[in-house]
Chain A
Amino acid sequence: MILPVEVMVGAVRGGTSILYAALGETVSERAGVINLGTEGCMLVGALTGYAVTASTGNPWVGVLAGAVAGGLLALVHAILVLSRGANQLATGLVVLFLGLGLTSLFGAAYVGRSINAFKPVGIPGLSSIPGVGDVLFNHDPLTYLSYLAGPAVWWLLYRSRPGLILRAAGERQEVLAAYGHSPLRVRYLAVVAGGALAGIGGAQLSTAYANAWFENMTQGRGFIAVALVIFAAWHPIRAVWGAYLFGAALALSPALQARGYGFNQFALDAIPYVVTIGVLVFLGRRRAHAAPEGLRKVFEMSGT
């Protein structure tokens, strides 16, 4: 496989878990709630997905359970910030540590267990196209689903009435209330849905990509997802590209090494973060107005 193709294959392979989490965070932040606990939601999704697959033998049931677990952890966040008025940023970190602690405790029994994991399934006809087939059409089913997830979230947010209501909850909840909707309920739904998507991302990592459970196995991917949402200016399609960009940067180092190229390893390891920060800085100012109005309040409140 030539280098660019392999890096693009790796981008899809490694970017998919982040893609789900970034889409989830986009939904949540569009409704005006930032969830720094996305990493925790991914972890509970990864463990629950793995554990339920281990006991049922069906990875689809596992992923569903992972989504529920991610959603439930996000519900904790929602209750604390929406009903109890806690600071969103601090609560998000608490939620992360809660997820990390719970999965460390209950995950110990699943380290070293084998499961009936998702396997790569080539799409007949398409998977044999040179290059494109490897990059797009030779993956596990959750990756194929992720191709639909980006456009689906975009359509939901920008072309459907529930999406309009959700965005209104994040921009001007007074207006939403004036129209007779409950901004609180909308935000609850958005946060829980966001956590569920992060849970699917975590389950993709454990039941398809890595085919293993280990404590803290997400290794910061949830935080990358949160950063990507901002870099993507809260737009789901741009978040998808961001996830693939990060995946490609992650795939570059092993692809070069396997070919015997020697570069400064630590520079290579820094690339994903440098690229992400670079793009953030480049796009950040220009798109500042893209931030949902409700979110702006979070940052201003925490800044003072």
Chain B
Amino acid sequence: MGKGWKAAALAAVIGLLGVGCSSNSTSTTSAGGGATATAPGTGGKAVGFIFVGPKDDYGYNQAAYEGSQDVAKAFPNLKVLTAENVPEDDNATRVMEGMINNGAKIIFATSYGHLDPAMKVAAAHPDVVVIQQGNIATGTIPANFGTYFGTVYEPVYLAGIAAGKATKSNKLGYVYAFPISQSIDNINAFQLGAKSVNPAAKTYVVNTSNWCDPGKQAEATNSLLSQGVDVITQHQDCTATVIKTAEAKGAFTVGYHADASALAPKGWLTGSQWKWGPLYVDLVRTTIDGKFTGSKFNANYRVGLKTGDNPFVQSPYGPSVTAETKADIEKARAIIAAKDGSPFKGPVMSQDGKVIFADGMVPSYAAIEDLKVFVDGVVGKLPT
């Protein structure tokens, strides 16, 4: 409830700012290069970013915020508006409307649950480009809308190799928040990576039903550790509690979202972290040039090791990772980046022994994001 209140206040403030600027925000003189005034997203004075959490959470939101600052550097004549702690409901709509009043013609809605409000805003403002990070828009995609994401499960697979090599108990633990496709893919890729080097490895999963409740995270981590798990990874927005709890009990850590190796000097293995800057800058440039509609961004755009323009990188290795493990990871990376490579290359079996991807099959990004089951070797049920 607290977040709702704050976002409402924030929206009000932004709204007031918008009123103050409204005399010139209707002007279409372009600050963003020689674009045609009719193309959506052109002629704006600002770019808006909304985040579901704080901008310095050592995680998802921090990564997105850093990307927004790269946009600010690349486009000095565009104002970058950012709003933290924007809930995934109608408050988000209000915050985005406020940004539009304040001259924004491009809006990044960076949380999974911002999809519905983002689509609502896109429908109400055909002249504004709204793009959403991480979710998938279904049906016909409007000319001023798109989603984008990295195939982050690829580095997660590589990190799974490090985990499979490091474990002594062959039990890996995964603390996640909600059964969204991003988490399901990561859990599956992590298990597949671990299994590729350690057939006995199993991944135990616990969800917290919350993106950042450190108390629940501590409990989830402790539960996994008490079951003999000795490598912990996670998909949470704030990551410090899980990492510190694992480090205190002498377990290994695989990071997610950001390089948190400083929090686990002994147990850190590696991880997957975001680097959004180049993609954001490319997207803004395409849009202010009037080329958004019909571009790769005007779709459910996904980039990965194969396309090269990665919005993610592998985190640095920790001290315990052996040269042999690193060589295994490099080998796997080359295989995934090859034309017929994928962490999910068949055969992939589900928990209940059904074939998900047949032998030799290289599933599309869309097919992977569509997975609604855990793969064989994951211990724990998807919430029903």
Contact = CB atoms under 8 A, between A and B. Distances in A.
Contacts of A205: 214-215
A212 B381 contact: no
B272 interface: no
A210 B216 CA distance: 9
A251 B179 CA distance: 19
A215 B334 CA distance: 41
Contacts of A96: 2
A266 interface: yes
A258 B222 CA distance: 10
26 contacts: A1-B226, A6-B223, A14-B218, A97-B2, A101-B6, A104-B54, A112-B56, A112-B57, A117-B244, A209-B214, A211-B218, A212-B214, A214-B57, A215-B54, A250-B215, A251-B219, A254-B208, A255-B223, A257-B205, A257-B220, A258-B204, A258-B226, A258-B229, A264-B383, A265-B384, A266-B383
Interface in B211-249: 212-220, 222-224, 226-227, 229, 238, 240-241, 244-245, 248
Contacts of A101: 6
Contacts of B227: 258-259
A112 B219 contact: no
B207 interface: yes
B379 interface: yes
A111 B215 contact: no
Contacts of A221: 215
A86 interface: no
Contact of A209 (B215, B224, B238, B262): B215
Contact of B215 (A114, A219, A255): A219
A13 B57 CA distance: 24
B215 A14 contact: yes
A35 B206 CA distance: 35
Contacts of B207: 257, 265
A211 B226 contact: no
Interface in B33-63: 53-58
Nearest to B179: A265
A10 interface: yes
Given A217-B212, A262-B381, A210 B217 contact: yes
Given A114-B244, A211-B244, A261-B381, 8 more contacts: A6-B223, A100-B2, A119-B248, A209-B218, A211-B218, A214-B212, A255-B223, A262-B384
A114 B244 CA distance: 9
A257 B223 contact: yes
Contact of A216 (B2, B173, B204, B379): B2
B77 interface: no
B226 A260 contact: no
Interface in B256-312: 262-263
Contact of B218 (A13, A97, A215, A266): A13
B219 A111 contact: no
A269 interface: yes
B206 A254 contact: yes
A89 B214 CA distance: 28
Contacts of B384: 262, 264-265
B215 A10 contact: no
Contacts of A216: 2-3
Nearest to A2: B226
B58 A111 contact: yes
Interface string A72-116: 000000000000000000000000110011001000100110100
B338 to A, nearest CB: 35
Give the contact-size bracket for chain A.
35 or more
B58 A210 contact: no
A205 B215 CA distance: 7
B6 A100 contact: yes
Given A112-B240, A212-B244, A214-B57, A257 B214 contact: no
B2 A210 contact: no
Contacts of B245: 211
Interface string A190-234: 000000000000000110011110111101010000000000000
Contacts of B210: 219
B69 interface: no
A48 interface: no
Interface in B197-211: 204-210
Given A209-B218, A212-B244, A257 B206 contact: yes
Contacts of A264: 383-384
A17 interface: yes
Contacts of A14: 215, 218-219
B6 A104 contact: yes
A114 B227 CA distance: 27
B54 A114 contact: no
Given A6-B223, A265-B209, A210 B218 contact: yes
B174 to A, nearest CB: 10
A37 to B, nearest CB: 12
Contacts of B262: 114
A134 to B, nearest CB: 9
A96 B2 CA distance: 9
B20 interface: no
B375 to A, nearest CB: 15
Contact of A254 (B5, B223, B240): B223
B380 interface: yes
Contacts of A219: 210, 213, 215-216
Interface string A262-282: 111110010000000000000
B85 interface: yes
A221 B205 CA distance: 25
Interface in A98-151: 100-101, 104, 108, 111-112, 114, 117, 119
Contacts of B224: 254, 258
Contact of B383 (A9, A114, A258, A265): A265
A134 B5 CA distance: 41
Contact of B380 (A108, A214, A260): A260
Nearest to A110: B56
Given A210-B218, A257-B207, A262 B2 contact: no
A1 B181 CA distance: 32
A215 B55 CA distance: 11
A264 B2 CA distance: 27
A146 to B, nearest CB: 15
